[in-house]
């Protein structure tokens, strides 16, 4: 599965998310969902990418998409989950550790770019 395919699958997953799914993810990882981050240069640095992951307070759909790209890219995940990746996206787990979540977000961002 190439990166372009992973990107398309992650876009489909994001499109299928309901507000209830997003609320559950937010509760699980202990972050607040926001529709978009403030532009760079804002006085409040709480949402800045330069803030260490353990101090971040919010996430966006793009963060989720990057997370899913990293998870889908994982060889183990592809091998273990191949049969339901095209059927049931709810089987992709959300970490309970925010630091782990942000590590996957960073990996997914690199893959996406």
| Number of domains composing the chain | 1
Bridge partners for 60 per DSSP: none
pLDDT score, position 97: 82
The parent domain of residue 107 ranges over 3-112
Find the mean pLDDT for residues 25-44: 75
Confidence class for position 110, pLDDT limits 50, 70, 90: very high
Coil, helix or strand for 25? helix
Q: What sign does the dihedral 19-70-105-101 (CA atoms) show?
A: positive
17-26, 64-73, 79-88: which range is least confident on average?
79-88
Highest mean pLDDT among 11-15, 59-63, 75-79, 88-92: 59-63
Q: Determine which helix (DSSP H) or strand (DSSP E) holds 91, and give its type and residue range.
A: none
Model pTM score = 0.74
With a cut of 70, say whether residue 61 has pLDDT above it: yes
Beta strands in 7-83 (DSSP E): 32-33, 58-59
């Amino acid at each position: 599965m190439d990166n372009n395919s992973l990107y398309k699958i992650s876009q489909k997953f994001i499109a299928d998310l309901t507000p209830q799914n997003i609320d559950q993810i937010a509760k699980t990882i202990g972050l607040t969902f926001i529709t978009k981050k403030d532009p760079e240069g804002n006085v409040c640095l709480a949402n800045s990418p330069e803030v260490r992951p353990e101090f971040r307070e919010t996430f966006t759909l793009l963060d989720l998409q990057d997370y899913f790209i990293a998870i889908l890219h994982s060889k183990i995940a592809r091998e273990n989950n191949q049969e339901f990746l095209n059927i049931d996206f709810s089987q992709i787990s959300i970490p309970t550790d925010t630091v782990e979540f942000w590590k996957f977000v960073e990996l997914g961002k690199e893959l996406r770019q």
